[in-house]
């Protein structure tokens, strides 16, 4: 309490104490009185902690230990939920319908395809059939892996190399090496 003085009503005067100075210090009666006044005035726990040189958690814990009724105002740095707020939020979460009530059986919905573009794959197959060693062709970036996969699985003797055709790497030139 060396850096902080209190008035007769328990209101702190002077400069704030640092948390390092008050890290393991015992709570004084004046600090307890200030917590009571702060709750009545509606100050936030962050403001009280800054003034007393204590953490927000220690101020809230001390308030609970002293069994002081009432709430601190919400901190501008972030909201501290009280136990009643947590209970209300938990109760609201329990009222949400879950499980079998959400599921519904529907008929007549078509089965989705795997996202393959068979026309493009067939076009790539035709190019790979015609291409000879030393020749190349250009494909968009999203088809490079498709060409490599088809060359590896369906044209096992082929060896392919790729290089971007422009700086933005949107198109690649694929060369048949062997």
Model confidence pLDDT, tens digit, residues 6-42:
666 666 665 555 566 666 788 888 888 888 888 888 8
Q: What is the pLDDT of residue 1?
A: 43
Q: What is the pLDDT of residue 142?
A: 87
Q: Kindly state the average pLDDT of the residues 91-110.
A: 67
Q: What is the pLDDT of residue 156?
A: 86
| Residue 48 φ/ψ, nearest 5 degrees | -65, -45
Model confidence pLDDT, tens digit, residues 107-150:
888 877 776 777 888 888 999 999 999 999 999 888 888 888 88
State the DSSP string of the chain: -TT-EE-TTS-EESSPPPTTTTTTPPPPHHHHHHHHHHHHHT-BHHHHHHHHT--HHHHHHHHHHTT--S-PBPBTTBPPPPHHHHHHHHHHHHTS--GGGT-----SPPPPP-S--HHHHHHHHHHHHH--TT-EEEEEGGGHHHHHHHHHHT-TT--EEEEESSTT--EEEEEE--
Q: Write down the mean pLDDT value for the chain.
A: 78
């Amino acid at each position: 309490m060396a850096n902080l003085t209190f008035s007769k009503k328990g209101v702190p005067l002077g400069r704030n104490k640092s948390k390092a100075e008050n890290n393991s210090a015992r709570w004084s009666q004046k600090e307890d009185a200030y917590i009571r006044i702060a709750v009545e005035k509606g100050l936030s726990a962050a403001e009280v902690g800054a003034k007393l040189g204590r953490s927000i958690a220690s101020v809230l814990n001390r308030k609970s230990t002293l069994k002081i009724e009432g709430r601190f105002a919400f901190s501008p740095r972030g909201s501290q939920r009280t136990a009643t707020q947590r209970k209300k939020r938990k109760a609201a979460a329990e009222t949400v319908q879950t499980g079998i009530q959400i599921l519904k059986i529907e008929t007549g919905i078509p089965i989705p395809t795997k996202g393959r573009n068979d026309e493009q794959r067939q076009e790539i197959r035709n190019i790979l059939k015609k291409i000879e060693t030393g020749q190349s062709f250009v494909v968009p970036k999203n088809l490079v892996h498709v060409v490599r996969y088809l060359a590896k699985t369906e044209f096992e003797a082929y060896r392919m190399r790729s290089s971007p055709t422009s700086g933005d790497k949107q198109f690649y030139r694929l060369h048949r090496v062997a």
